[in-house]
Every structure is written in structure tokens, then in C-alpha cells.
Amino acid sequence: MFANFRLAMAWLHTWFGLVLGFVLMVVFFFGALSVFDREIDRWGIPASRFEPQPMPSFDKVLKPVFESMQPTQESIDRMRPRVDGPMPERYDTVRRWGAYTTHRDPVLGVFAGYEVPNAKDPDEAIFASRTIDPRTGAALPDDRLKIGSRFFYPLHYSLNFHWLDLGYWIVGLAALVMLAALVSGVVMHRKIFREFFTFRPRKSTQRSALDLHNLTGVVALPFHFFFAFTGLVIFAGLYFPVTHTQLHPLHELHEQHEEQETGLPQDRAGVPAPLASVDAMVAEAQRRWASRGMAGEVGFLALQHVGDANGYVSIYRAGTDRIALTGEGIHFKASTGEVLHEDPPPTAVASVAEFLTGLHLQHFRHWLLRWLYVLGGLAGCVCIATGLVFFVEKRKRQHAKQGSSGARVADAMAVTTVTGMLVATLGMLIANRLLPENLPNRGDWEQYCFWGAWLLAMAHAFWRTAPVAEGRLAPAWREQCWAVAAMAVAAVLLNWLTTGDHLLRTLAAGYWPVAGVDLFMLVSAALAAYAARRLGRRVRGAADARAMVAEAARA
Amino acid sequence: MSTRVLDPSRQHIVLRVAAALLGGYAFAWGFIALGTSALFAAGMPFHDAEFLSSMLGILAYLAVFLWVFAVPGLRRAGAVLVGAGAAMAGLASLLQHTLV
Amino acid sequence: MPDALMLLAAVAASVAGMGWLALAMDVHWEQVRGDAPRRPACVACLRALGALALAASLALCLAVDHPSMAALVWVMALAAGALAVAMTLAWRPHWLAVLVMRAPGRVGA
């Protein structure tokens, strides 16, 4: 199809980059925001603006919470088609109770998985979850949406598009294409070392865009490659469900071996048994970690086969000081508290697995690295956005002459994806502050505002990119930049007006989750305003140039 | 502009993209299946075998994806990928049969 | 807090190192020092300084964190340093002159 390898790679980079670039912008941007997902949660749920808490006492705080949990009506309705027969009033046979916390969590999310009687698949489970204040066990209302960890974060790996799991597959394809774009980009870029530091902002838009595209792509190349790659590795089981389909028998064989080796039963015995003190088990686990020179907090606490003689409790150490998410798991017999099994040190392959997933999911404590990750993510966004701008600039004059609107559509889509995405994000945060506190399904309304704002931005983008069809700069960019600047300032002001937590107060108290979000928005407003002014100057400059040419022609 | 009859080069592009995406997927699947079963049969812990094969399988997918666009012969490329994928998957099932 | 200071130093070393590596290239040397000519030894010297600074950055990262984390911090610090140098060269190239004021083998007065 192509004369040589370089041309093939150039074609691949251009066209796959164009088509999947829009998805990748969303993935990179919300991925960058997800570094501080829990901090964004705090901004959106003022009731949770307190200090991060360690895992609370199971016996005193968590047990009553777990015992009172039940699946939501929504979950029950979704399970109905997967059940042959009547569904129970209460779900009492618990497969698993779990609680996971990190050094950044003030509130604690807990989940429970129950057996589903009469289900078509005997391994089926229905889930319930709750968010509590770990200091008291009091539950937060269920419809408070955690904008960071339950909206922006899932958006970046699934586009929140769950029909047939298509969102996951689109993101997966985009990740593969990202890897291909990075390799093909390197192949195409002949002067990769010579132009390593090159950025010429005063040249034509096309040249500056290409310079910036190359710069942001190359300096953060390891970051871009590793994040796309580890993202695919994390969801490999979803994209290639080999061991749950073709090799399922092999998987079952392994599970039987593992049950024998570790003494952790796969199934319930069917004999009820009481639950010993989990707090005592936690204390024992912490004692064992300390004796190995690894004193630490509990990251993950899970109870399997609750209420059964085969029940066991698994306690994992939080990976705050290392890349791995959790580790050093110790498993206790639920009815007596004796240690059944201590996880052995990880094998070489398991260490690599922990490293790769941990570096992507980042539950470690390292504020500099987190901010450097945000920088990397935003560099990725700039890389993709400048790629789109370069594509449009290169072709718009040509398309204008041909009367084709290809460049205009690409530009409108670029505006929608770059500034439109910012408008949607800020729109959601503003709605979060403006919607009535006790509005039922408040979280759903916030999501509607997000998508609604984005649609409005898209409509505006298509309307205001008409000049591109004549080979000129679209006013849509400048106008949306001004909108972003105004909305970011509005969001910060609304936070002050509705919660009283203005910047001076949060900075004085050192409450960085809220201060950080406010500051980030103010800096963004400043950058957006600066960009809008520069774009305005460029348009006036181009208009002046055209006027001068027209004058000269008349003279 | 008639959309029923595709330009030969446009049709070629569609086929090449399909070969890269679908043929590549088949190849990667076979690679992961064979890797998992072979490494497990050789004594590696199951989840380690699964992880290592998946990780290398994704890199293999990337490599063959690029390869499809670099080689001249489209039909041969597609056939090689699907054939190799099927062969590897077949071997994996055979191995599984001997172990289970 | 020595940790925070060491990390700050690691980032600074990365910026300086990237700056020196950039200045070893003629096009960027001209941006910073105009038409001042220079000897080939100067170029080699700048590259060596750059490499040393980047190595120092790695050493500082390793002094603060577990190697698996330090490696990530260093790679990202390199990216940040390169971006900072590229932006400085684009908008305020004369700011990088501070990196070559006391370079040994400096040409001219």
C-alpha cells in the first residue's frame, strides 16, 4: 500500500490519530484529573471535607454497617433478567464484605457481594455499597456523586458508556492506537534529537503546532507509552478473557490447587459459624508486618463466605510507601481468628505485575510524583490537541479551495474535544454548587449537566467554525476560551458562596484538597484568558494583513 | 458520489484496517492462550503465566498491527495472522487437554 | 524537611542538565549567546555537564525514595526539565545564560 515503511507509518499516525485522537483527549484529560480524584470528591461533597482517616475498627464501626446493607432497587432490577424464579426480600448469604482505603480517603467506601438464589449462573453475585464517615460509621447519602472517583475516573477508562461494555472497548482501541501512534511518530520524526527542545511559537500556526506536538510527545514519551500500555495490561482480562472462556478448565484446575496449597476454601461449607474479633486479627496482622520491618496501615480488609464455617478474613497492608497497591496479605479463619495463610513474597513476574499496575493506579504517597503525573497527562492532551490543530491547519486552505468541509468538521470536533471538554467539566462543578442540596438523584442531575454542557459546546463549535471552510481561523476557539475562564472563576466563587471555604481560609488551614482544586481552576482561568487574548490578536493580525493586501491591490 | 461501489483504494484501506485490528486480535488471543497454558504447564504459577502472556500478547498485538501496514501483500498478511492465531490457540487447547 | 529539599534539588538538577544539553546544540547556543563562537571542547564540556547533572538528579531521587518509585520520579523530572528548558528557549532564551556564565573553557571575555 505504501512505497516505504516511513510513509506507511506516517499514514497510520495521521489517520488513526485523527479518528481516535478525540477519544484519547478525553482519556488523557480525565486521567490527569483522576490523579486527584479523591480531592475533587471533597470539593463536590462538602460534608466529606475532613482529614483522611485510617481504616476504622471492624467490630465497633464496620460490622453494624455491613449488617445493615442491602442492594439498591436499581441493582435488583438489573439482576432480574439473570434470575430464573422469585427474588428474595432480603439478601442474607454474603459472599464477600470489603473495605478499601488509602492515605487520601477521609470517607470510606465499603461493598458487599451476596449470593443470588435461583440465578442462571451459580457464581452470580449482587452488590451493595455504601460510603461512611469512618469516625462514626454514619452513612453519607447514597445519591451524593463522587465527581472525581465515581465520574471523572470511570470516564477515563470507560467513557461512562456501559451498554455492552462498549466504552471499555473504545478506550482499549484508543490505547492500542496511542501505542501505534507513538511508535509511528518516532519513525516519522527524522530530527528527533536535533529538535528535542525546539518550539517556535512565533512562526505560522501550522509550524508552531507541529513543534509543540513533537515536543510534548517526545519529552514525555516514556510516560505516554507506559500509561497506554499499563492501561491495556490492567484491563487485559476484559479484552482477552482467555482464562474465562477457552482456558476456563485450566483456571478451575488452578483454583483447586490453590485451595489445597493455601487452605483458603473456594466455597461455603453450608455450616453456620460465628465471627471472631476482626480487630484482634488486624492487630495480629500489623504485628506480623512490623516484625518483618514493614509496619503499616490496613489498606484492604475483606471477609469471604461471611457467617459460614469456611469463612476467612483477608487483611492487606496499604502500599502508601511503595508502588504496589496493597501487599503482605494475611488470611485468618473467620470463626477462630487463627492464621490460615500468609501470602508469600511475590514472584518476579508478580512483582512486575504489581509495579506496572501500581504505577498506573498510583495509590502511593508522593505529592511531587502525582503533580508530575498531572503534568504528563496534560502534556499528552497538548500533544493530541496540537496534532488535531496541525491536521486542520495543513488542510484547511486546500479544502477551502476544493469546497470541501473536511477541515471545518475536524476543527469543530477539535474545539468540542478540547475547550468543549473543559466547559463540560466546569459546568458539572458549577451545577454541583448550584443544585439544591436535597434534590433527589442529585448525582444524576450533575451528570446531565456535564453532558448537556458538552452538547451545547459542540453546537457552538459547529456553528462558529464556519471561517475554517474559507481557510481562516475559527472564532469558536477564542470564544470557548473566554467561557472556560469565566466558568472556572465562577466555580471558585460558588465554592466560597455556598460552603464558606474560600481560598484564604483553606490555605490558612492547610486543607489542600479544596485549596488545590480552587487554585488549579484559577490558574486554568488565567491560561484560558491568555490564550483567548492571543487568539484575538492573531485574528486581528490576519484581518489586518488581508485588509492591507486588499488596499495594495486597489492602489 | 456513489457509496455503494467503493473506490478500490478505499476498499483496500478498509480491508487493511480490518486485517490489522481483527487479524491482530486473533494473533494476540492465540499468543496469550498458548503462553498461558505453556508457561503453566512448565511450572509457572497460574496467575503469573496469565499475566506475563497478556503483557507480551499486548506488545505482540502492537507489533503485528504495525506490520500489517508495512507489508505490501494484504491477503498474505491477514492469512498469516489469523492462521498463526488459530494454530497457537489450537495448541493451547491441546495442552489444556493434557493437563486437565 | 530534607526530603522535599532533595526532591526540589533533583528537579533543579534536571532543568540544569537539560539546559546544558540544549546549549551543546548550535541552534540553541545561538538563541542564548547570539553569535559568540565556541570551541568544540566547549560543546563536549556542556554535554558532560548535562549528563552529570542528570545523573545527580537520579542520585537525589534515589536518596529520597524506594528505587521503584525513585525511577518514576526521575523519568518524570527529566520530562519536566526538558519542557521547562524548551519553553524558556522559546520565550526567554537569555534566562539560560546563567548556565554558561562560569563554564570552564568559555570563549571570549
- C24 CA to chain A: closest CA distance, Å? 11
Nearest to A176 among B47, B54, B65 (CB): B65
pLDDT over 80 (residue A542): no
Contact A167, A160 (CB under 8 A): yes
- Interchain contact, B96 vs A249, CB within 8 Å: yes
Cβ–Cβ pairs < 8 A, chains A and C:
72
Which of helix, strand or coil describes residue A415? helix
Q: Do A250 and B37 touch (CB under 8 A)?
A: yes
pLDDT range class, residue A120, cuts 50, 70, 90: confident
Q: Which of A343, A345, A346, A341 is nearest to A356 (CA)?
A: A346
Residues in chain B: 100
In this prediction, residues A141-162 reach a mean pLDDT of 90
Phi, psi of A265 (to 5 degrees): -65, 140
Instruction: Look up the ipTM and state it.
Output: 0.92
CA atoms of B93 and B89, how far apart (whole Å): 6
Residue of C nearest to A364 (CA): C69
What is the pLDDT, as a whole number, of residue C1? Answer: 56
Nearest to A8 among B28, B48, B70 (CB): B70
Task: Using the predicted structure, report yes or no on whether residue C47 has a pLDDT greater than 60.
Answer: yes
Confidence of residue A143 (pLDDT cuts 50, 70, 90): low
The sign of the CA dihedral B67, B70, B73, B78 is positive
Q: Where are the beta strands (DSSP E) in A238-325?
A: 298-304, 312-318
Contacting residues for B1 by C-beta, under 8 A, at least 6 apart: none
| Residue B93 to chain A, least CA–CA distance (Å) | 7
The x, y and z cell numbers of residue B15, run together, are 480491508
Which helix (H) or strand (E) is A41 found in, with range?
helix A37-44
Q: Cα(A169)–Cα(A155) distance, rounded to whole angstroms? A: 13
CB spacing of A240 vs B28 below 8 angstroms: yes
User: Which stretches within chain B are classed as H helix?
Assistant: 8-18, 24-41, 46-70, 74-99
Q: Are the CB atoms for A35 and A370 separated by under 8 Å? A: yes
Q: Taking Cα atoms as reference points, which of A475, A495, A483, A464 lies closest to residue A528? A: A483
Q: CA A224, CA A179: separation in Å to the nearest integer?
A: 8
pLDDT tens profile A159-181: 999 888 899 999 999 999 999 99
Contact A474, A536 (CB under 8 A): no
C56 Cα to chain A: minimum distance (Å): 18
- Give the C-alpha separation, C26 to C39, whole Å: 11
pLDDT at A469 > cutoff 90: no
What pLDDT sits at residue A167? 96
**Torsion B78-B80-B83-B85 (CA) sign:** negative
Question: Which chain B positions have a beta carbon within 8 Å of A9's beta carbon?
Answer: 66, 69-70
Please report the pLDDT score of residue A113 as a whole number: 92
Bridge-based pairing state of the strands A326-333 and A108-115 = unpaired
Interface contact A219-C82, CB threshold 8 A? yes
Q: Do B100 and A250 touch (CB under 8 A)?
A: yes
Q: Which residues make Cβ contacts (< 8 Å) with residue A155, sequence separation at least 6?
A: A26, A30
Burial of A293 (0-12, 13-18, 19+ CB in 10 A): exposed
Verify whether the Cβ–Cβ distance C69 to A368 is below 8 Å. no
Chain A interface includes C16 (CB < 8 A)? no
A250:B93 CB<8 A: no
Percentage of chain A with pLDDT > 70? 99
- Residue of C27, C80, C86 with shortest CB distance to A372: C80
A306 and A334 in contact (C-beta within 8 Å)? yes
Q: Which of A472, A488, A373, A482 is nearest to A427 (CA)?
A: A488
- What pLDDT digit, counting tens, does each position of A406-465 carry? 888 888 898 999 999 999 999 999 999 999 988 888 999 999 999 999 999 999 999 988
pLDDT tens-place string over residues A336-357:
999 999 999 999 999 999 999 9
Measured CA to CA, the distance from residue A298 to residue A99 in angstroms comes to: 10
pLDDT tens for residues A32-58?
999 999 999 999 999 889 999 999 999
CA of A324, closest CA in chain C: separation in Å?
Answer: 10
pLDDT band at A553 (very low <50, low <70, confident <90, very high): confident
Closest in A183, A184, A243 to B50, CB measured = A243
**Strand order through the sheet with A108-115:** A125-132, A108-115, A94-100, A298-304, A312-318, A326-333, A339-342
Taking the CA of residue A201 and the nearest CA in chain C, the distance in Å comes to 7
Mean pLDDT, rounded, for C58-79: 95
8 A C-beta contact, residue A394 and residue A206:
yes
Residue A28 pLDDT level (bands cut at 50, 70, 90) = very high
- Look at A91-100, A367-376, B47-56 and tell me which has the smallest mean pLDDT: A91-100
Residue C88 cell numbers, joined: 524558556
- pLDDT above 60 (res C73): yes
Neighbors of chain B by Cβ distance (3+ pairs < 8 Å): A
Q: Residue ranges of the domains in chain B?
A: 21-99
Best A233, A240, A357, A360 residue to mutate vs chain B (most B CBs within 10 Å): A240
pTM: 0.92
Please report the pLDDT score of residue A241 as a whole number.
96
Distance CA A314, CA A339 (A): 10
Residue pair C64/C6 in contact by the 8 Å Cβ criterion: yes
d(CA C14, CA B93): 51
Interatomic CA distance for residues A263 and A148, integer angstroms: 39
Nearest residue to C57 via CA among C18, C86, C94: C18
* Nearest-by-CA chain B residue for A5: B70
pLDDT of residue B3: 41
Sorting pLDDT into bands at 50, 70 and 90, what band is A215? Answer: very high
- Alpha-carbon distance of C100 to C45, in angstroms, equals 11
Per the CB < 8 A criterion, the answer to whether A333 and A269 are in contact is no
Residue C75's pLDDT band (cuts 50, 70, 90): very high
Of the candidates A305, A495, A354, the residue with the CA atom closest to the CA atom of residue C68 = A354
Closest CB from C28, C72, C79 relative to A219: C79
List all residues of chain A from 225 to 254 with a beta carbon under 8 Å from chain B. Answer: 229, 232-233, 236-237, 240, 242-243, 246-247, 249-254
Q: What is the phi/psi pair of residue A332, to 5°?
A: -120, 150
- Phi and psi (nearest 5°) for B9? -70, -30
pLDDT of residue C109 exceeding 50, the answer is no
Min Cα–Cα distance to chain A from B66, Å: 7
Residue-range domain boundaries for chain A: 52-142+244-359
Inter-chain touch A233–B55, beta carbons under 8 Å:
yes
The C-alpha cell 450533575 sits at: A446
d(CA B92, CA B57): 14
Look over chain A and give the mean of its residue pLDDT values, rounded to a whole number: 91
- C61 near A CB under 8 A: no
Distance from the Cα of A218 to chain B's closest Cα (Å) equals 19
Q: What is the pLDDT of residue C101?
A: 77
Instruction: Determine the Cα–Cα distance for residues B62 and A366; give it in Å rounded to an integer.
Output: 32
When scoring A188, A246, A360, A405 by the number of chain B Cβ atoms within 10 A, the one with the most, hence best to mutate, is A246
Find out whether A151 and A162 touch, Cβ atoms under 8 Å.
no
Q: Is the per-residue pLDDT at A473 higher than 90?
A: no
Which chain A residues in 382-411 lie under 8 Å from chain B, judged by CB atoms?
none
Query: Can you list the residues of chain B whose pLDDT is less than 50?
Result: 1-6
Inform me whether the pLDDT recorded for A395 exceeds 90: no
- Are A and C close enough to touch, i.e. 3+ CB pairs under 8 angstroms? yes
Q: How many residues does chain C have?
A: 109
